[in-house]
Amino acid sequence: MYYCYLDTPIGELLLAGEDEALAMIGFPKGSMRRDPEPDWIFNERPLATARKQLTEYFAGTRKEFDLPVALSGTEFQVSVLKALQDIPYGETVSYGEIAKRIGRPKAVRAVGAANGRNPIPIVVPCHRVIGSSGDLTGFGGGLDTKEALLRLEAEHTHDLL
């Protein structure tokens, strides 16, 4: 596994992947804070596309990611991650809506758990999932990070028109 770091407005992100497919983004704090494993190799080249697209995202010029990702987890978890990728930039949906979209309307808690284990936040936009009441709910990078990502997208949504 290769890894590198990317400085962003929300702090330094840890990026990791293999064969140019992004497999993990680690936040600088929160439950999704990550450190490189001892056998990982520091190398920015395999992650150059991910670095470029994330930089564009934080600059407000990229609304969709177009890079190879290595989704991991159970079949159910991967179905949730794929559904997250369909949430448009600048929009939010509830956990219940994701459960309906994957054909498991009663699996709201399981959707929340799968969302919380998302290894590739931002690119697989779990920050766009909110509680049914509209409240921001748990986020692996901390609620302030989730709020910052949603605010960034709200500021640049007008660019879509």
Place of tokens 């400085």: 7
Pick the CATH number of 2-59 from 2.40.160, 1.10.1200, 1.10.10, 3.30.160: 3.30.160
Q: Return residue ranges of the chain for CATH 3.30.160.
A: 2-59
| Catalytic center residues | 126
pLDDT at 161 over 60: no
Pick the CATH number of 75-160 from 3.90.1150.110, 3.40.50.300, 1.10.10.10, 2.40.40.20: 1.10.10.10
**What is the spatial distance between Cα 151 and Cα 48, in angstroms, rounded to a whole number?**
26
Please give the pLDDT value at position 37: 94
What are the tens digits of pLDDT across the range 16-75? 999 879 999 999 887 778 899 999 999 999 999 999 999 999 999 999 999 999 998 899
Q: What are the backbone angles phi and psi of residue 12, rounded to the nearest 5°? A: -80, 120
Residue 158 is predicted with a pLDDT of: 67
Pick 157 or 76 by higher pLDDT: 76
